């Protein structure tokens, strides 16, 4: 990795290989309280001279395993990250990027999306990044951020 003045170190905490404990709501924005838990792995490496990274995931869903990647890119002008998701269950579709940054140790990233033809906000949070057990959370809001439903968590521990 090239260390330049523009190199953003926000995601350096995640470089390497991880065991991941997933917890996910079975249905989103329906009032569902039924969670499923499963294991996975993640391996993250920097790209773009440290201003980007690729997180390669293997998710062991109860119904079968699949792979996905998070692609992240840092804009040195706006000081924001963009994060895209691409998965083998829909290999020709890349999600709308969530955009945001880290402040006071927490990464917050937001995108406008649709769910069941309704506009929603999607939020990714990166928490506890200064510890040996970082956490990622995904939440959705049907009301422009007035309320949020957390529907997926990933708890990381070093492999």
CATH of the domain at 126: 2.40.128.20
How many domains does the chain divide into?
A: 1
Give how far Cα 107 sits from Cα of 34, 59, 87, Å.
27, 23, 22
Is residue 69 situated within a structural domain? yes
Is residue 140 situated within a structural domain? yes
pTM for the whole structure: 0.93
- To which residue do tokens 């119904």 refer? 63
- The 10s digit of each residue's pLDDT in 32-86 is 999 999 999 999 999 999 999 999 999 999 999 999 999 999 999 999 999 999 9
Query: Chain centroid to CA 7: how far?
Result: 20
Is residue 54 situated within a structural domain? yes
Is residue 57 situated within a structural domain? yes
As given in the structure block, the two tokens for residue 143 are 């009301």
Is residue 46 situated within a structural domain? yes
As given in the structure block, the two tokens for residue 3 are 């260390």
- The 10s digit of each residue's pLDDT in 10-21 is 999 999 999 999
Pairing of strands 118-127, 52-61: unpaired
Pairing of strands 64-75, 80-87: antiparallel
Main-chain dihedrals φ then ψ at residue 12, nearest 5 degrees? -60, -30
Is residue 2 situated within a structural domain? no
């Amino acid at each position: 990795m090239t260390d330049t003045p523009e190199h953003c170190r926000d995601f350096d905490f995640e470089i390497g290989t991880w065991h991941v404990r997933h917890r996910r709501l079975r249905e989103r924005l329906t009032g569902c309280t039924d969670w499923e838990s499963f294991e996975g792995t993640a391996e993250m490496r920097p790209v773009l001279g440290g201003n980007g990274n690729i997180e390669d995931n293997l998710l062991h869903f109860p119904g079968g395993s699949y792979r996905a990647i998070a692609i992240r890119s840092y804009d040195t002008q706006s000081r924001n990250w963009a994060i895209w998701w691409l998965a083998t269950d829909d290999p020709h579709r890349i999600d709308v990027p969530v955009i945001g940054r880290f402040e006071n140790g927490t990464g917050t990233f937001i995108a406008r999306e649709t769910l069941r033809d309704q506009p929603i906000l999607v939020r990714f949070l990166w928490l506890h990044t200064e510890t040996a057990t970082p956490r990622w959370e995904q939440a959705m809001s049907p009301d422009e951020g007035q309320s949020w439903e957390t529907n997926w968590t990933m708890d990381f521990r070093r492999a």
